[in-house]
Amino acid sequence: MSTDAFPIFDAALNLPVSVRADLAARLIASLDRPASPAPTQSAAVGATALPDAERVRLADMLMDSVKPAGVLSVDDPHFEAEISRRQREVADGTAVTYSIDETIDAIRQSLVGRKRP
């Protein structure tokens, strides 16, 4: 990583969680566009001016920083074991499963009274 990228990475990783997720998505979307000169006024604008490899690295770091605790991702070393365990539970009938209707009802109930963004 270039030394010019350190302040951008630091600023980006200190943004609020919702902004980090949005920035990661914008960085990924910006990969097909050429880099522009890096302005200093904003971490988001500066981050999109990084070379592709650094934008990808920063996007990965930002996404990792907003991943909820306890949620496995495909790059987790325990992911395959957890998937295998869950498949066995479904196959042997010990898994607790929910129909799509039950799932939608539960989601709707959890959203009651929430304001839309």
Residues 30-45 have pLDDT tens digits of 665 555 444 434 566 6
Q: Tokens for 28? A: 């990924």
pLDDT for res 40: 37
The structure's pTM equals 0.35
Average pLDDT, the chain: 74
* 17 CA to centre of own chain: 10
Please state, in angstroms and rounded to a whole number, the distance separating the CA atoms of residues 76 and 90: 22
Which amino acid is it at 104?
I
Q: What's the mean pLDDT in 71-98?
A: 86
Average pLDDT for residues 15-36, to the nearest whole number?
A: 66
Higher per-residue confidence, 30 vs 79: 79
